Structure 1
Amino acid sequence: MDRRATTIIPLALLAGVSLAVLLAGQSLAELDRAWWIEYLPLIVFLIAALMGGRMNHSRITFLALVGLFTFLAAGSGGTTEPVQRATALAAGLAVCVYTLLCAHWRERGLVTEPGVLRLLLVVGPMAVLWGLVATRPATLVVLLPRFFAAPLFGRLLPLPWPVLLGALAVGALLTARLPRHPLETPVLPVAMAAMLLGLGMTSPRFVGWGAGGDMAVRLAAGRVACSLFMGVAALVLLLASLEHSYGSAYLDELTGLPGRRALEQRLSALGSRFAVAMVDIDHFKRVNDRYGHAVGDQALRFIAGHLRDIKGGNAYRYGGEEFAVVLPRRGERDALGVMEDIRGRIAEGVFHLRANGRPAAAAEPPTGSPTEGIPLTVSVGIAAVARGELTPEEALDEADRALYRAKELGRNRTVRRSELKEDEPSLG
């Protein structure tokens, strides 16, 4: 799944539902009896939790379970304002805390000892909270002082002020520190915000329900809005789970580029006019031998970063220090211009080693300074197909032959298939 889609879809879902709730107001109460209002968020939360567990992504499972219990608690909070505020305070703080934990926990699986302990840490308190709200709401009101349950912005956003401050703090931490991952920004912040907005919508004082009207109508509209926002949170987590499963199957973990399986699928969908290129890092073995494999990994990511910027095409990690590029509907001249631009930018740039880029227990220390810059170049082979005279697989072999020729000619250059002689061997 495209990274931009992973960023845009959660934000669009949250913005769309927010706008719909504000525009609909009390008319949302008409949907209160629809079965999906009550059950759909639960179903999607369960699917996200199960998929996260199946794909060994326990953090999705944990946060989906937090959302499930939060939705159950919000629906069991009764109609009195003290109970609603106490529920929003307890559940809202739990959402903030668990979001932060899930963001910074390292993946340890579900069926391991750490995984089971974390599962108990999530399910235990959330189940107790749901039980208190459903059976002893008065106890919850007594346990939580009214001062902490008071909303910060009154009718505008009727959430207790500690929840709002906690959400802002967690959001800032996620934005500043969260590493790139399928659960990266904005998936976690949007899921957290949607859950908290769902809790806030249960208040009959929300400005969107108007100052007048029947109390039962405002409460019904609040239940519907709560379900809609909780549904957004569930869908966002499901999206993160799908992104993780896609990445596990199709993305190269080291470079973040699509891998061989994704390349094979892309080749099978090409038309009769296209170009492919093979890219190989020059003297990559020397980099590994001198600086260590950890620095070699940095070099692979450096080259992948340049290839990711190709316009009108897609780059793939082919294996080792080799990459493949697919350029649909491109002729040889266009493909040459694209690949020469990339090759030139790589040659003109300098790859700077990161001082903290190597693991503490690396097998071989680098002999060069960890902050020095080293030049990297690539050799490129191009094969263009104009009228379906070659299959995509055959074109890839021809690009491989052209790459071999570029190596023979001294590296740091691009060779086209049209420049080859018939008897020149393949690199393999």
Structure 2
Amino acid sequence: MESLFVAFVILLLVMFFLGLGVWVFAGLLLVSTVGLVFLIDMPPDRIGKIMSPLVIRSATSWEISAIPMFIWMGEIMLRTDMSDRLFRGLSPLTYHLPGRLLHTNIMGSALFAAISGSSAATTATVGKITLAELEKRNYSKMLAFGSLAGAGSLGLLIPPSIVMIVYGVLAEVSISRLFAAGVIPGLMIASLYAGYVMIVSLMYPDVAPPDREKPGLKEMGKGLLDLIPISVLIFIVLGSIYSGIATPSEAAAVGVVATLTMTVLTGQMNRDVFFGTLVSSVQTSCMIAAILIAAAFLSTAMGFLHVPQDVANAIGSLDLSPYQLIFILAIFYVLLGMFLEGISITVMSLPITLPLILGAGFDPIWFGIFLVIMVELAQITPPVGFNLFIIQGLTGTPIMRVALAALPFFILMCVGVVILTLFPDIALWLPNLLFNS
């Protein structure tokens, strides 16, 4: 019971510092230090000795090197015409679907997710392309905002995924297997979104006005040609991983080289673009590394406080069934998602939740996909929903209106979690096929 109280105090401290507007990594460091000093009287010099190796180990792992590479790929595509080609390529292909161009949000996000690894990059890139066009053609703003918020989060689930890399490193499981496990669940949730858009469009035709001109075979052919660069990048990145030619970290570097080569050959690379994308990706990568260091320190501090073991024992003593445990953890992650972003959620919670999951007999690869989907929910959950902030920044729409637009897609993602829990082979079939044969 004492450790449960400690865990509650730690959670209150985290919420307090975040509520003050303190940076996430600084807040986590403060909480860890306060907990060690005041709860177990640890001397400050010993805290420094604990912190030093954590900095090196958390920020210099070989697997983590993939993160800045994938971020750089996304930045390059954001500042070149690759993103514009995505909309031009998908537009004629969606004409015959109920909802028409609204599907460019979903399909575009799914495709861009397969090369960016970032929900924020996916939402920002696709949103800059589609939202203005949809508004100009009088499509429903609420459905446009909601479909983008939901589909943009697929950047975390459809491989390659930055959160999957972080989970794989912390849980010590194969990142390649995690990437394979995310493919079918990602397509399943994208299909749920597309089905919802179709149903709403059939019920309320005004949400998706008919286009002025029906695209012919020539326009569809041009659309397919515009999708070639994105398709080539997906093939290079994922193909190098699943063929065994490259590890996820190496594949990220290969993807960057391929992206840079394409932009040079098409005459879009110049000094400003190169250094602009490089500076932006370094800034984002440093932010992620700082959070990883701080979260690793918090995890270590909670270990000294015996919180993970005692919380696991407390929940274990409730004699919950596996499904009851998953239900409680789902609620736990939704609550965390209201205050924290994905990487912080993953690294802070894993020391507590992973032992519970393994003890209940769940596959750690399956749990990685479950956790990523719960993190995706956090992307569209106010008050700290990054995808909501991005759409607000792109459109100037009040955050609560964007959150309301995203609510149906939040529910659809919850449905996806239920389906994945009832049928775990949705996540496990592909990695077992690729890596157990």
Q: Which structure has the larger Rg over C-alpha atoms?
A: 1
Higher helix share: 2
TM-score (norm 2): 0.22
TM-score (norm 1): 0.23
The structure whose RCO (Cα within 8 Å, separation 6+) is larger is 2
